[in-house]
Structure 1
Amino acid sequence: MKLKNIFIYPLLAVLLICCNTKEEHVVKVSERQILVNNTPYVIKGVCYHPVPKGSPNNRSFTSLTEDILLMKEAGINTIRVYAPIEEKEVLDELAEANIRVVIGFGYDQNGYYDIVSGSFINYVNKYKHHKAILLWELGNEYNYHPEWFEGDIKNWYKAMNDAAALIHKNDPNHPVTTAHGDLPDSLALKLSPNIDVWGMNVYRWDKPGTIYKEWEVVSSKPMYLSEAGGDSYMTIAKDGYKAGENQKAQADANENILKEVFANSHIGSGVTLFSFTDGWWKAGNNDKQDPGGWAPNSSGVPYDGSPNEEYWGIVDIDRNKKQTFDIVKKAFNNSTK
């Protein structure tokens, strides 16, 4: 009995150490690639802001389990959220499904994990070891709004660059990105060296491919399309598409967009398509789906140049698949990179 214990106790100690060792999930950048645990990672994603019917803009994860099943069917491996996910159980469920998250931080959110108060770093430190985290994102299309920064966009780039430096200091295992409105200009690139991956919200009709060559000329860093896509409502009849709700227009647009995304995977690291579900809270009565809405620099929205904000989902608000769902499913599941 004593002889057995000599061997059993050290073995138990080793097992306890192994069980209590935190498994690290390291995300790095290498040249133009994002690496997860040293393996190239291509983002096959959607923007995700699930707001129930009738809600003014209160995100809810009550449909998360159902949503994850649809995401897995569609080959989605990443979601991009516009505000931090506070609920650990939500991150846990996403991680269990092998879906990673781009966590967005706003500039001024009344002190709620925002940049102006500095409280965003508390969230970073809280969740920097969580398997679900892919990237930390600073801002969304702020380059379109210098009026938010005393009329000088340089104030934003400085704040963004300083915030990225603070993240690097606290979390060396996850890169920092931003969602820039289209291609960053020389000022943005010069003032923001701490941005590791450039996300770009690109609405160039159904042909975003031109941005890859433009990016290749100005930077050697990784990039991805943080927003792209089309809506399922035609304000006017155009290019053979009838006016009114038109799922075929959306499906055709997304098919062409995704072809160009994956044809340029030597430069870009994928896309978070806009968006997973329709948002009834955006344009009018929150209890029904309204045409209309507005977004900055939106003339490039296929195929009517009008962003009908409540019609962007690849599923509707009841989680019924739109025609574009199968297009996304085919593109994501058939992509080998």
Structure 2
Amino acid sequence: MKLFTRLLFVISISVLISCGYASNSNEMKISNRTLVVNNQPYIIKGICYHPVPKGSPNKRSFATLTQDLALMTEAGINTIRVYAPIDDVQVLDEISQAGIKVIIGFGYNQSGKFDIKSGTFINYVNTYKNHSAILMWELGNEYNYHPQWFDDDIKNWYKLMNNAAALIHANDPNHPTTTAHGDLPDALALSMSPNIDVWGMNVYRWDKPKSVFEAWEAISNKPMYLSETGGDSYMQISKAGYEQGENQKAQADAANNILKEVFDNQAICSGVTLFSFTDGWWKAGNNDRQDIGGFAPNSTGIPYDGTPNEEYWGIVDIDRSKKEVFNVVKETYLNVSKTNN
């Protein structure tokens, strides 16, 4: 009877591993300012990923996942950042098999579906914490720009975020907590959020993010990375030598300058998830066509026109044709010296 029970246990563990729910090689640690995965330094060479098809009202689809992963692998991408949990083990399995890890984002209010408000995010953590695709758990995206969501007091958000991070630590000791803060966190954010292990920052300071790294070094000894940065491929006006209208060169030049400063500052910055993988036709106007316009808070630092044309941010277009910036990302990521393959 004991032999049968032991055999059943071994079979059960084997099934979990084959399904992607368990893994013996998915431990992430922090050593000073360095991210360490499976005892190897890890630099984030990433992309933000929210694949919404033409005509869809912000409904994410992974129908093109295989094609997308092939393009990401070609570009040297090792990390994707998603804005909502991926509740599909087959999707996570395919991402992991491509050698890519995921930063899983949790929103405050997602109608009770793995969100922070309901507390159901921890159910997702406990379901997928052993999956080999998971890199970090991310709490919120630029919520410091939206105190109105928290009774006009941003301290309410920082308290919620810190408590959520503590709960994650209690349930999953192998993956750090992070957040995507709008630009550099201030003293209030840092003092109220000690349970955030790695600070992600959405930084749009033209094509020169270096000042963020210098400021961060002075105020914190924790790891940080750029959770969003980059530029779009549409010039609202002619400026800085770039012509008005669709302008892929402006986007490519901006990415080149930004990524150079990121990887020239690896002592402070642990990498980047560039915004974004594909153009998003759902973000402004008619979802069946690509529109100019859109809105993003604190976005005047968008190179080179100061205007975020929200549907033009992809390194590939909606049909997965490569834009000029794709080759910039590829050349940069494949030549980063400190890497995890």
The question of a shared fold, defined as TM-score above 0.5 by the shorter chain, is answered with: yes
Aligned to 2:282: 281
Aligned to 2:134: 133
Aligned to 1:173: 174
> Aligned to 2:293, what secondary structure does the other structure show?
coil
Query: What is the 5 A alignment of 1:8-87?
Result: 20=14, 22-87=23-88
In 2, the alpha carbon distance for the partners of 1:106 and 1:232 equals 28
Aligned to 1:243: 244
In 1, the alpha carbon distance for the partners of 2:117 and 2:69 equals 33
Aligned to 1:105: 106
In 2, the alpha carbon distance for the partners of 1:39 and 1:218 equals 26
> Aligned to 2:168, what secondary structure does the other structure show?
helix
Shift in Å, 1:30:
1.3
Shift in Å, 1:38:
1.6
In 2, the alpha carbon distance for the partners of 1:35 and 1:232 equals 34
Aligned to 2:320: 319
Aligned to 1:119: 120
> Aligned to 2:90, what secondary structure does the other structure show?
helix
RMSD of aligned alpha carbons = 1.4
> Aligned to 2:311, what secondary structure does the other structure show?
helix
Aligned to 2:20: none
1:187 partnered with 2:191: no
Q: Quick one: which amino acid aligns to residue 121 of structure 1? A: I
TM-score by structure 1 length? 0.94
In 2, the alpha carbon distance for the partners of 1:23 and 1:298 equals 42
In 1, the alpha carbon distance for the partners of 2:58 and 2:26 equals 32
Aligned to 1:3: none
Say how many residue pairs are matched.
324
Aligned to 2:148: 147
Q: Quick one: which amino acid aligns to residue 333 of structure 1? A: L
Fraction of identical pairs, as percent = 71
Cα displacement string for residues 275-313 of structure 1 (whole angstroms, at most 9, x for unaligned residues): 000000000000000000110000000000000000000
In 2, the alpha carbon distance for the partners of 1:155 and 1:33 equals 30
> Aligned to 2:304, what secondary structure does the other structure show?
coil
Cα displacement string for residues 236-294 of structure 1 (whole angstroms, at most 9, x for unaligned residues): 00011000000000000000000000000011100000000000000000000000011
Cα displacement string for residues 62-119 of structure 1 (whole angstroms, at most 9, x for unaligned residues): 0000000000000000000000001110000000011000000001111010001000
> Aligned to 1:334, what secondary structure does the other structure show?
coil
> Aligned to 1:212, what secondary structure does the other structure show?
helix
TM-score by structure 2 length? 0.93
Unaligned runs of 5+ in 2: 18-22
Aligned to 2:296: 295
Give the ranges of 4+ consecutive aligned residues of structure 1 lying more than 6 Å apart after TM superposition: none
Q: Name the larger-Rg structure.
A: 1
In 2, the alpha carbon distance for the partners of 1:33 and 1:177 equals 14
